[in-house]
Amino acid sequence: MNQATQFPAGDNPVKNMTDLVAEIARALVDDQDSVSVEAIEDGECTAIRLRVAASDVGKVIGKQGRTARSMRTILSAASMKLKHRFSLDIVEEDHPTAP
């Protein structure tokens, strides 16, 4: 019964997870245009880096980190099914300072 998970042709689980994180984040924040997600793959693990506007960081993290913990739980559940580890980093979007 040890069978690797097979994905349909063109179906990328990393892209699916980044799209999922982006959609959840857009539903939570005020500035939806500032939401960006990048995946940093490292062998069996993929770090998903979520960037949001400085004013929206609290909304994505939630009270006592509950919202962020819930997003990480979803990624963890998907990790078990896909046999690929995902981690979530929430980063405040950097705004270049004027000289």
- Is the pLDDT confidence value at 8 over 80? no
- Is the pLDDT confidence value at 7 over 90? no
The DSSP code for 39 is E
Domain ranges of the chain: 34-92
Q: How far apart are CA 11 and CA 49, in angstroms?
A: 21
Tell me the CA distances in angstroms from 65 to 34, 70, 71, 96, one per residue in order.
21, 9, 10, 27
- Is the pLDDT confidence value at 1 over 50? no
| pLDDT tens digits along 21-77 | 999 999 999 999 999 999 998 888 899 999 999 999 999 999 999 999 999 999 999
Give the DSSP letter string of 42-98: ETTEEEEEEEE-GGGHHHHH-GGGHHHHHHHHHHHHHHHHHT-EEEEEEEEPP-PPP
Instruction: Give the neighbor-by-neighbor strand order of the sheet with 45-52.
Output: 36-42, 45-52, 85-92
Q: Domain 34-92 falls in which CATH fold? A: GMP Synthetase; Chain A, domain 3 (3.30.300)
pLDDT value of residue 48: 95
- Is the pLDDT confidence value at 91 over 50? yes
On whether the CB atoms of residues 93 and 53 are closer than 8 A, the answer is: yes
Residue 36 three-state SS: strand
